[in-house]
């Protein structure tokens, strides 16, 4: 069965163009033109991925993302946020709420399709059986690959999909400096020019969740000009 993509934007011409490109690439598409309609489609149709505009009537993209991530039946749905706003704070808020990726308008429709393919491929890999160790541990961190959970000192910490993939990349390569492109590839399924700030945002969000002092991290160290590496005692 073809995978189904829900395209949500109050600009119907954008929805039409994106649906056309996605259908040419073999996907089935669903459409919605405001936040309420998007939630209705999500609950009724359970699409494989959502392309979600930020600024919409009847619930904006931020609110829709927050509702989706808070609903256990929908929480795993991949979300690509589509926004005409370019301020870093807007992107950071979207990623913090649980969006997996964002694309800034104006955009190249082929790029959107490439991002969709990469994210769906990443989701499939996340769900496939893993021959690697099923639990990674470092210091007080314990990452369970089967349950997709993180425990810190026996307390569960919620991670977004991208944050989980980043932490898995670090824990599976302790002490090794991972380049920015390597981290983008491992966490988002592709390395794309201009995505460096998105990576930095995900790293910053992850540090807030696992570090006692995010401004002076003990686990995820910055290697200036190269990328990041994990330090600490791996168990």
Query: Would you state the structure tokens that stand for residue 169, as one six-digit string?
Result: 């990349």
pTM of the predicted model as reported, rounded to 2 decimal places: 0.65
In angstroms, the CA 63 to CA 52 distance is 11
Token representation of residue 193: 């020019």
pLDDT above 90: residue 76: no
Give the Å distances, CA to CA, from 106 to 82, 85, 111, 112, 122: 10, 10, 11, 11, 25
CB 66 within 8 A of CB 81: no
Q: How confident is the model at residue 196 (pLDDT cuts 50, 70, 90)?
A: low
Our CA angle for 114, 169, 113, nearest 5°, is: 5
Chain-wide mean pLDDT for the chain?
86
Question: Is residue 73 reached through a cis peptide bond, with omega within 30 degrees of 0 on the bond before it?
Answer: no
Mean pLDDT of 175-198: 76
Looking at the predicted structure, is the pLDDT value of residue 42 above 80? Answer: yes
Q: Which of 25-29, 59-63, 96-100, 179-183 has the highest mean pLDDT?
A: 25-29
Euclidean distance between CA atoms 159 and 167, whole angstroms: 9
Range of weakest confidence among 18-22, 91-95, 158-162, 205-209: 91-95
Whether the CB-CB separation of 8 and 52 falls below 8 Å is answered with yes
Q: How far is CA 36 from CA 8, 56, 227, in A?
A: 10, 10, 40
91 three-class SS: helix
């Amino acid at each position: 069965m073809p995978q189904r993509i829900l395209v949500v934007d109050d600009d119907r011409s954008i929805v039409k163009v994106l649906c056309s490109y996605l259908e040419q690439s073999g996907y089935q598409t669903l459409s919605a033109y405001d936040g309420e309609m998007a939630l209705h489609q999500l609950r009724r149709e359970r699409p494989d991925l959502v392309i979600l505009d930020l600024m919409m009537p009847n619930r904006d993209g931020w609110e829709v993302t927050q509702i989706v991530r808070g609903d256990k039946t929908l929480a795993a749905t991949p979300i690509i946020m589509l926004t005409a706003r370019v301020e870093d704070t807007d992107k950071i808020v979207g990623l913090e709420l649980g969006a997996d990726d964002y694309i800034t308008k104006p955009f190249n429709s082929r790029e959107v399709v490439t991002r969709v393919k990469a994210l769906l491929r990443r989701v499939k890999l996340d769900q496939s059986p893993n021959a690697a160790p099923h639990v990674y541990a470092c210091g007080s961190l314990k990452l369970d690959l089967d349950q997709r959970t993180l425990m810190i000192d026996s307390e569960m910490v919620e991670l977004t999909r991208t944050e989980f993939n980043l932490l898995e990349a670090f824990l599976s390569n302790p002490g090794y400096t991972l380049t920015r492109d390597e981290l983008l590839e491992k966490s988002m399924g592709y390395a794309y020019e201009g995505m460096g700030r998105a990576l930095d945002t995900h790293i910053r969000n992850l540090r807030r969740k696992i570090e006692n002092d995010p401004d002076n991290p003990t686990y995820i160290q910055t290697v200036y000009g190269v990328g990041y590496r994990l330090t600490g005692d791996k168990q």
